[in-house]
Amino acid sequence: MDTHVANLDEQYDLSQLKETDLDPDPFKQFQKWFEDALKVDLNYPNAMTLATADKNNRPSARMMLLKGADEKGFVFYTNSESNKGEDLAQNPRAAMVLWWAKLERQIRIEGKIEQVSEQEADSYFRTRPRGSQIGAWVSEQSRVISSRKVLDSRMEQLEEEYRNREITRPPYWLGYRLIPVSIEFWQGRPNRLHDRLRYRLVEDGRWTIERLAP
């Protein structure tokens, strides 16, 4: 089947990225670009691809939502018994990518993974819509199920069970923080000669900025 993928070419020419544009602190630079993304009315500006690998270095990736970003790292939440949760238990390293087509920008982040505290996870869980809280109990994420009816029936059961009750966080629903060792800011440029500026953590805890060939 010919899907004409090779013909889907596009020139990037909105902007450029120079070393003098960057904040010395990569977390402040991330915040600046994220605020730019919010201004252009993107759908899910916090959508990201999370890549993990299991103990045999078999990779997998999926779309998720970033739920926190500060000088400590980048936070997301998931079922620890899912495929990605098992990957992170076996191999606590990951990479994430945010892509903002309207800005012709992406950010690539690589580093090690740690769990957020129980208190932090509980605090975030309480902010979730009630349906999403129940959904965390409903789904045995990544497991084979016989039909959609399994989920719908379980949802109805738990909605009744939790009626007029607080919904606590499932013990397997955890928060993870990616602590970066590398953060790359990518700006699309004409002729595929994109600007790629990478912050790399060096031994003394400083960040060095490097320009990469596109």
Q: Report CA 137 to chain centroid distance, whole Å.
A: 22
Q: How does 144-174 read in b/e, with b if 16+ C-beta sit within 10 Å?
A: eeeeeeeeeebbeebeeeeeeeebebbeebb
Q: Which two tokens stand for residue 43?
A: 């759908």
State the Cα–Cα distance between residues 52 and 134, nearest whole angstrom. Answer: 26
Angle between helices 148-161 and 130-138 (to 10 degrees): 120
Q: Which residues pair with 208 in a beta bridge?
A: 200
Q: Are 173 and 135 in contact (CB under 8 A)?
A: no
**CB-CB neighbours of 193 under 10 Å:** 10
**Active-site residue, from 58, 130, 192, 206:** 192
Number of CB atoms found within 10 A of residue 189's CB:
19
Residue 91 amino acid letter: N
Vertex 115: Cα angle to 109 and 117 (nearest 5): 130
Helix ranges (DSSP H) in 10-65 = 26-39
**Is 128 a residue of the active site?**
no
Which amino acid appears at position 12 of this protein? Y
Catalytic residues: 192
